[in-house]
Amino acid sequence: MVGLLTGCGSDNGASSAPQTLAGTAEPASGDHTTDSAGSSTPVPTDSTPDSTTAPDPATTTPATSTTATSSTRCHTSELTASVGGNDPGAGQENFPINLTNSSQRTCTLRGFPGAAFIDASGKQLGPDPERSSESPTTVTLAPGQQAWAGLTFSNPEISEARTATPAALLVTPPDERDSLKVKWTQGKVPVSGNASTVFLTVVRAGTGS
């Protein structure tokens, strides 16, 4: 999975309008739900008509139909993304990635987003982020509500990892393939060497700031 990182609204870069990019990443893994319709097996009946009896309207069962329930998952086209300000601690750099439901319906998010730093040409900088050990929960977003995931890495000045300054962060919502592009204004990030690993947390309710 090509990870993609998003951002949450803040004074540093929240004004950037995220763009939807098609086919830039594999889907971030959450819980996949397959919708299905129920079915029934008809009971064989005598095909010979009975001319002496007629169905009693009072005992006739009306016909029913079962339809599949549509997915409630939030799709990339229904979300906007932003990166919040850094909340450093214990040699770590911590950024909330916010996803806002910009649609007119209530939808859900579950699992980890995908994330990737890219340069101005769109080339990915560094490996895909790793995931925390947390267990996913389903977050329900009404129109206008937000959820967030944490993006964390060791301070490169302490870890001495090789760094690069991204032009943008790509974020792929859980179980989606299309990505959101958010301008990165938070400076250098580790891309290789000692303690260069970037971590992502699961999506949770709120803004993360």
Residue 69 pLDDT > 80: no
Segment 86-96 shows an average pLDDT of 93
Mean pLDDT of the chain: 77
- Angstrom distance (rounded) from CA 163 to CA 191: 5
Model pTM greater than 0.85?
no
What does the pLDDT read at residue 193? 85
Instruction: Encode pLDDT of 145-156 as tens digits.
Output: 999 999 999 999
Contact between 169 and 116 (Cβ < 8 Å):
yes
Residue 201 pLDDT > 90: yes
Find the angle CA(84)-CA(121)-CA(191) to the nearest 5 degrees. Answer: 60
CB-side neighbour CA atoms (13 Å) of 183: 10
Among 16-25, 44-53, 129-138, 177-186, the least confident range: 44-53
